[in-house]
Chains A and B, each alone.
Chain A
Amino acid sequence: MSEAELIDRYIDALKRDAKALPPAGLDAGTADFVRALVLSQQAKTPSSHLQDRVWHKALTQAETSGGNFSTCKTSSNGSSQHVSHLKSGERLQMDDVRMLMPEPTLSSIPATRPPQPRYLLQYTATIAAVLLVLVVAGSLLIQMAKTPSTGYLALVEATEEPTIEPTPVCNGSTDYMAQGEDSIASGDYAAALSAYNCALELDSTNPAAHLLRGALAGANGDYDQLGYDYYTFIIHNDVNVTDYTRKPVLEILPTLKTAIEARPDDVVLYQLRGLIITSTILDTPIDMIRLMDIAPDNPIGYLFSHNWPYTYDFSDAKLQKAIELAPDSALLDFWLSRGITAQNAAEAKPYFDRAIQANPTHPFAYQARGIINALLGDMTAAANDFYHHTQLSQAYDLVQNSLVIGERFDLKTAVEGVSRLPFNARKGQSLNVNFFYNTGRFPPTLIVLDPQGNVMAVPYKVEDTSEATHIEQLIIPESGVYTLLVKSNSDSSMTILVTGTTK
């Protein structure tokens, strides 16, 4: 490597880390000079005030020049909500839009599940609970479909299985998935729906058929069917990600793209593609956002794009709209999603209440509300919810652990402070540690020490730029007094919840 390349490489390294070592082969004198030069050119970090001021100036000038700020239509004063947000300094973050992908392709599928946006980290426990809700709801519905008179139904009153269109005569030798795709391509959605019904008759767990049938049913206004098929797909998608579920679903994307080019005003096509994108590669719901514009009375667009962009106002407004458009739908996600976006536990609780009211047999809705009740300090109600959750889950043999409440800490932290929180744990318990902010902004670092003071667990980290947020499924090797270390990065007050499950 030439000296010119070595110098170039060393400057790049110094820009990342002022203490970077020079590359091998670069003489010490030159390296010292390069380092001094780079350091001499460093300026102080511009203030956020300056950054905001320049942004507002640029934004205003761009608006004057006729920039395109088309947005969701939720602003009460008719102005662009995005712009009003941006002008108040609440800009979207890079992490929030990391997965932007207006025109999805197979080659751009991320290898791993994309990181959660920072905004959602504040609701880690509820998010985890609702993710579990999705999984369990899918299982629950599958179980109901398979064994309608046994198991869980013996304990609780079951909800009705969603109505499915009468199945046409199905020939076992026919490729109904291909038929469905061809029908979508030609715009014959009734035929496509029949084809997917046939595909499911042959294989009731065919996840691609569930998702596509659900999307078509949703397009007909049958949101309960959509919910049933969507949850069924999700559970398979989580269990067997690549070969069984994603691929058959994603293979239809080129057909959808061609169809959209041919029929750009066809709402069903956007709904189909949007559902595929949001449920498989978890990418930006561009189609759902578009759906809000071209089909403003369809709740699906609002519902499935409510977490993007990840800001409270946007998410809340979209979910409110979805609920308003389909107030009687049993699509549980309406209510659970609304609970997630609530700003605090008190605000979230009514939505989980309503979720349970909509489907009182839903085990993880109880768990989610149990966490909320614990956060609100009503440990009796929390225990009751956790009991229901345990009973309902065990009835399904899905979760064989019983949840026990461990400890709840209300903590005020100072900058660079470390708090030690002792708690009792029993051998074999599986511990989860979550935190919720009351005030403050930056997540703390959570570390669990065993009774001997050894580090047992460091937190799950979303990515380098994010802070640690929670600890999951830490198996306790022996009974004793364990310690949770909370290292804060700013003045904050928060609630930390240590919960444990035991077999």
Chain B
Amino acid sequence: MGVGMIAPDHEDHNNRDEIRIMQASRADLSYFAPLYDRYFPRIYHYCLRRVESEEAAEDLTSVIFTRALTGVQDFAGGSVAAWLFRIAHNMVANHYRSRRPSISFDQSDFELASESNEPIEAVILAEQQRTLNDLMSSLSDEQRELLALKIAGGLTAEDIATVLGKSAGAVRVELHRIIKRMRTLCEERGLA
């Protein structure tokens, strides 16, 4: 199925559907499958952004969904996305605690999903990507986490707020701060 982001005007409807699935999953975990289909790419991308390799991202993703499957009884309502990413956030934190990773954002694992077939454009995009990934390594872990939740995870500010235990306003302000900082660094390097 097409995953992507959920349009704001469909969020309520989708979340109602998801809550129903969560309720059904309490009786039979098989019903969780559609949620898995919807969230796997987002969770996997999020993990890819937070750990050191595709293998680690795969392992972590399976652990996250295992935890989700065994924890459906604990779901107390609200945003299913926030609930799942809260699990993911905690699993990543556990992963960090058990094994401090050396994240290298310039590795080619993160293949650019470019629509362009033009070699010159691909080279430019790849260079841009390398630069931005390099800049990201200068961010704090918390800032990288926020960016991963926002961009790779595709969460709304409200859902990120739930995951991180902050207000949505604080999330937006922090995101703004990160963007400004990265843009300034880009300008300093003459890349903006």
Contact = CB atoms under 8 A, between A and B. Distances in A.
Contact of A45 (B35, B41, B176): B41
Contacts of A61: 62-63, 66
13 contacts: A5-B172, A40-B125, A40-B129, A42-B113, A43-B110, A45-B41, A58-B66, A82-B30, A91-B36, A94-B21, A97-B34, A98-B17, A100-B21
A40 to B, nearest CB: 4
Given A5-B172, A58-B63, 20 more contacts: A7-B176, A18-B115, A34-B179, A40-B132, A41-B151, A43-B110, A43-B111, A44-B111, A54-B58, A55-B65, A58-B66, A61-B62, A61-B66, A62-B66, A62-B69, A69-B30, A94-B1, A98-B17, A284-B24, A286-B24
Nearest to B54: A50
B68 to A, nearest CB: 8
Interface stretch (A9-17, A139-147, A316-324, A401-409): A9-17
Main secondary structure of the interface of A (DSSP, over half): helix
Contacts of B1: 93-95, 465
Contacts of B44: 46, 50, 54
Interface string B95-135: 00000000000000111111100000000010011001100
Contact of B37 (A8, A93, A286): A93
Interface in B3-43: 4-5, 7-8, 16-17, 20-21, 23-24, 26-31, 33-38, 40-41
Which of A36, A70, A86, A101 counts the most chain B CB atoms within 10 A?
Answer: A36
B4 A40 contact: no
Interface string A61-83: 11001111111000000001011
* Size band of the interface chain B makes with A: 35 or more
A37 B156 contact: no
A45 B1 CA distance: 12
Q: Which 8 A-B pairs have the closest CB atoms?
A: A82-B30, A100-B20, A4-B176, A91-B33, A62-B69, A94-B34, A58-B65, A15-B5
B28 to A, nearest CB: 5
B192 A33 contact: yes
A426 B161 CA distance: 62
A158 B17 CA distance: 45
Contacts of A97: 17, 20-21, 24, 31, 34
B3 to A, nearest CB: 8
A68 B28 contact: yes
Nearest to A286: B24
Contacts of B48: 43
Contacts of A92: 30-31, 33-34
B86 interface: no
Given A37-B132, A40-B112, A102-B24, A94 B151 contact: no
A441 interface: no
A439 interface: no
Contacts of A247: none
Given A16-B7, A59-B69, A91-B34, A82 B152 contact: no
B157 interface: yes
Contacts of B7: 16
Contacts of A40: 112, 125, 128-129, 132-133
Interface of A: 2-5, 7-8, 11-12, 15-16, 18, 29-30, 33-34, 36-46, 50-51, 53-55, 57-59, 61-62, 65-71, 80, 82-83, 85-86, 91-103, 108, 284, 286, 309, 465
Nearest to A36: B128
Contacts of A55: 33, 36, 40, 65
Contacts, number: 189
B173 A4 contact: yes
A71 B30 contact: yes
B45 interface: yes
Interface of B: 1-2, 4-5, 7-8, 16-17, 20-21, 23-24, 26-31, 33-38, 40-41, 44-45, 48-49, 58, 61-63, 65-66, 68-70, 109-115, 125, 128-129, 132-133, 147, 150-152, 154, 156-157, 171-173, 175-176, 179, 182-183, 186, 192
B186 to A, nearest CB: 7
Nearest to A80: B30
Contacts of A46: 40-41, 44-45
B152 A33 contact: no
Contacts of B40: 46, 51, 54-55
A44 B41 CA distance: 10
Contact of A68 (B2, B29, B156): B29
B50 to A, nearest CB: 12
Contact of A7 (B30, B31, B179): B179
A38 B151 contact: yes
A288 to B, nearest CB: 13
A83 B30 contact: yes
B138 to A, nearest CB: 14
Contacts of A309: 31
Contacts of A39: 112, 114, 125, 129
Given A11-B151, A65-B70, A100-B31, A54 B175 contact: no
A6 to B, nearest CB: 9
B183 to A, nearest CB: 5
A2 B179 CA distance: 14
Contacts of B113: 42-45
Given A58-B62, A67-B70, A3 B176 contact: yes
A54 to B, nearest CB: 5
A249 to B, nearest CB: 21
B121 to A, nearest CB: 12
Contacts of A98: 17
Which of A5, A12, A44, A54 counts the most chain B CB atoms within 10 A?
Answer: A54
B17 A15 contact: no
